[in-house]
Each structure stands twice: as C-alpha cells, then as structure tokens.
Amino acid sequence: MPKRKRPLAPDPRRMAMATRAIHGNALTPHAGPVAPSLWQTSTYRFANSGDPIRYAEGDPDVYVYSRYHNPTVAEAESRLALMMGVDKALLVASGMAAISSALLSVVRSGDEIISTPALYGGTYRFFRDILPRLGLAVRYVSPSRLEKIPSMVSSRTRAVYLETPTNPTLAVVDIERLVTMVRRAERTVRRKIVVFADNTFATVLNQNPIHFGVDVLLESATKYLGGHSDLLAGVVAGPEALVKGAHTQMKYMGGCVDPFAAFLLLRSLKTFELRVQRQNENALHLARVLQGHQNVRRVLYPGLPSHPDHLIARKQMVDDGGRGFGGMVTIEVKGGVRAAARVCDALRVAVNAMSLGGTETLVSIPVYSSHIKMSARELARHGVRPGMIRISVGVEGIRDLARDFFRALDVLG
Ligand SMILES: *Cc1c(COP(=O)(O)O)cnc(C)c1O
C-alpha cells in the first residue's frame, strides 16, 4: 500500500483575513467547543502552592489574576495579532487605555512626542491636558509639512504619533513618508524613536501601517473590530518587547479589559471582514450620491477622486492590499450647525449618536461632539466646520440609507 502522505500543516498567517479572524491558530484537530469559552473570573484556583511560584518564574500556563491575564482575553489577543500581522497584541479596556498604556510605557518625564494635529478628541485632550502634567511635551507637525520632522526631532524626542484617516475631516497622512522622515532623524540623534499609529478609522482590513514601518498599532476595538456598538475595548499591537511594556503599564494603571468584552469581541471578529467590506461599499456609494445634493456643500471621503488626499489614500489603503477607503464619510451642509442639526433630527434610518464602526449607521455633529468646547482657533486647525455631519456608515441596505439622507437633506428646502 502506498504510504499516505502527511498533509503539510497550514500556516494561518498566509490565510485570508476572515479565516484568521474565525479560526485563529487553532488549525490542528482537537476536541472542544466550537465557540470560544468565556472565563468570567477575576481569579484562578491553584493546583498547589507551587503555581504562583511557577507564575513568577514566567510559566505562561499558570493563571493568577484577571487584571494580569485571562484565557478568553488571550484568545482574542492571539487572533488580533494574526489579523494584524504582528508578534503580539494586547487587549485592554478601551481605545484610550490602549493609547495611554502604550505611550506611557515608552516615554518618561522630560521627553517629547511629535504628533500629527488632527486627532480623536480624547487623544487630543490627553495630549493637551494630561501629558504636560507628567512633564511631557507634544509638538505638532502638519501632514503637509512632514519634511519638517528631522528639524523638529531632538535628543528628547521619544515617540511619534499619527492617526489616519483623521477625525472628522478624513484627511490622510502619508504614513510611508512620515516614517522615512522619522528614521532619517533617528540617525542624527542616534536614538530609537517609536512610531505609533491609531488605525481605528481604517482598520487592518483597509490599511496596515506596519507595512510602512510603523512600530506600534493602536486601535479602539469599540469601533469596527467590535462592530455592534455593544462593547468597549482597545488594542496595542506590535513587536513583543513594546507590547510587553504596554502590558506592564496597563497592569498597574488598571486598564484591563473585562473577559466578557473579549468574548463579545471574539464573536465580532468572525464577521469583521464581511462587515467592513460592506461598510466600504456603502460608504463609497453614499459619498458619491450625496455629492449631487443641492444642500451639500462638500463631501469628504478618501475614496472620491475629488478628495485632496485621494492619491495617498489609494497608495496606502488599496495598492498595499487594503480593501477600500473605510466606512467614514463627512459632509458639510449649507447653513451651518443649525442646518446640520435639522438634517440629523430628520434622519429615520441613520441614528444620531456618537461613536462609529457599528452595523448601524450613526451620525454626529463634530462641533457638538468630538470637538465640543474647542476654541475657534483649535477648530480651524483641525479643519472642522460647524455645518459638518460625520457619518459612520453601517451595513444597512444602501438604497434605504441614500433615501434617508436625501429626505433629511430636503428639509432644508
Ligand atoms: C473612539 C476612538 C478612540 C478611543 O477609543 P475608546 O474605545 O472610546 O476609548 C481612539 N481613537 C479613535 C480614532 C477613535 O475613534
């Protein structure tokens, strides 16, 4: 009898995003539940008193306390690392916990951070109100003046931070160019500078900053990864040493994720590719048709050829293997914030709520939400205008969505 060939062990890293998100590393036959197990526990029984000693010596199979680690969280982390193409991922309580744990693990008092200026509101306030109290300065570089980075970097620069596409104007930062400038500056100051990218808006399906040399990915899993507006979580992903540093920081700052949120996230990841693909399609369609409405002054969407950063978006979101331009669209209506409010109040399918990335379409007015209480100068610097409506496009029927927006825009006359 011919010897039966042993099949080659498949490498999950070479598989599609959906396959990685659904199966993780579990591609060998084994008995057990198909759905992931929820370890809803704060602490763990020791088989004997040697267990905590084994834990302290680094045995990864001994669990001691859920602020440090939890098997459900660990499963979500290993899938996220596989999806993002990195060594390690850390799942924490929220996007802000990811951002603060990761940044604070690399900087120390006296250091400087260089950042692009248009940021998620929480990040912007963290940089403006919290970091200076810890002796950390943030300097901003315009995405159109990245060549200034080498002259801005000093021996105190420890981190560079970027977010793209930005909230709410959907401007695109050229990641490859930014990283090139940072690495050039690094050689002059002879110091490693850690580059962080907040990838929440694009998600790893549409854009992977790691491919362009970014060190650490940050993402609010509350948004597209979670995708159903029912959980809060955040991800730090990158090389083992950096993620370990963020884990230590998280352990003592306390931003651990609840096991149930990790369980919900594991369920969400199974449909991540399907959802984001549909959101890409719906967003592109909606952006195109809304350009034609008489009460719309401007439509901002990186996938439209009229968008000022369309070519950069194409390079880093599509030509690099990404699937599209994301699910976020911003429109500016004629008539300022009062008109924007009237449109939002007239919508019946789209929901007036903060946040983004869920299956349901959400709208928000930036000057009433993410950019509330900012001075006129701050608003101008962020390119935010009172008549803007930010749309997080969901997975509803596209004709229902388009009709809903047309009907609501018609109330302006
Ligand atoms: C929502 C968001 C965050 C913060 O995430 P939370 O989960 O709310 O803490 C950070 N960055 C971006 C771009 C976001 O949209």
Would you call 114 helix, strand, or coil by DSSP?
strand
Position 8 confidence tier, pLDDT thresholds 50, 70, 90? confident
Atom of ligand 1 nearest to the CA of 355: 1
CA 91/CA 256 separation, integer angstroms:
8
Report pLDDT for 1.
Answer: 56
161 contact partners, CB below 8 Å, separation of at least 6: 103, 113, 114, 115, 116, 195, 196, 197, 198
Counting Cβ atoms within 10 Å, is residue 23 exposed (0-12), middle (13-18) or buried (19+)? middle
User: pLDDT tens, 353-387?
Assistant: 999 999 999 999 999 988 888 888 888 888 899 99
Report pLDDT for 17.
Answer: 95
Does residue 167 line the site of ligand 1, with CB under 6 A? yes
Q: Ligand 1 centre from 99 Cα, in Å?
A: 9
User: Which whole-number Å values give the CA distances from 411 to 288, 348, 351, in the listed order?
Assistant: 20, 13, 17
Average pLDDT, the chain: 96
Report pLDDT for 189.
Answer: 93
Give the whole-number percent of the chain exceeding pLDDT 90: 91
72 contact partners, CB below 8 Å, separation of at least 6: 36, 37, 38, 39, 40, 259, 262, 263, 266
**Domain formed by 12-269, architecture:** 3-Layer(aba) Sandwich (3.40)
Q: What is the mean pLDDT of residues 318-338?
A: 97
Ligand 1 pocket test, pick from 91, 116, 223, 232 with the greatest ligand atom count within 8 Å of Cβ, gives 223
Report pLDDT for 3.
Answer: 67
Q: What is the pTM of this model?
A: 0.96
Q: What is the distance of C-alpha 211 from the center of its chain? A: 16
Does residue 162 line the site of ligand 1, with CB under 6 A? no
12-269 and 272-410 agree in CATH topology: no
Nearest CA to ligand 1 atom 11: 120
Domain 272-410 bears CATH identifier 3.90.1150.10: yes
Report pLDDT for 346.
Answer: 98
Nearest CA to ligand 1 atom 8: 95
CB atoms within 10 A of CB 11: 9
Looking at the predicted structure, is the pLDDT value of residue 187 above 80?
yes
User: Which whole-number Å values give the CA distances from 121 to 167, 246, 308, 408, in the listed order?
Assistant: 8, 22, 23, 27
- Would you give the DSSP letter of residue 94? S
Does residue 327 line the site of ligand 1, with CB under 6 A? no
Q: What is the distance of C-alpha 386 from the center of its chain? A: 25
User: pLDDT tens, 282-326?
Assistant: 999 999 999 999 999 999 999 999 999 999 999 999 999 999 999
CA 182/CA 8 separation, integer angstroms:
42
Looking at the predicted structure, is the pLDDT value of residue 18 above 70?
yes
Could you tell me the residue ranges of all domains in the chain?
Answer: 12-269, 272-410
Report pLDDT for 345.
Answer: 98
Q: Ligand 1 centre from 62 Cα, in Å?
A: 32
Report pLDDT for 371.
Answer: 87
Atom of ligand 1 nearest to the CA of 223: 1
User: pLDDT tens, 61-103?
Assistant: 999 999 999 999 999 999 999 999 999 999 999 999 999 999 9
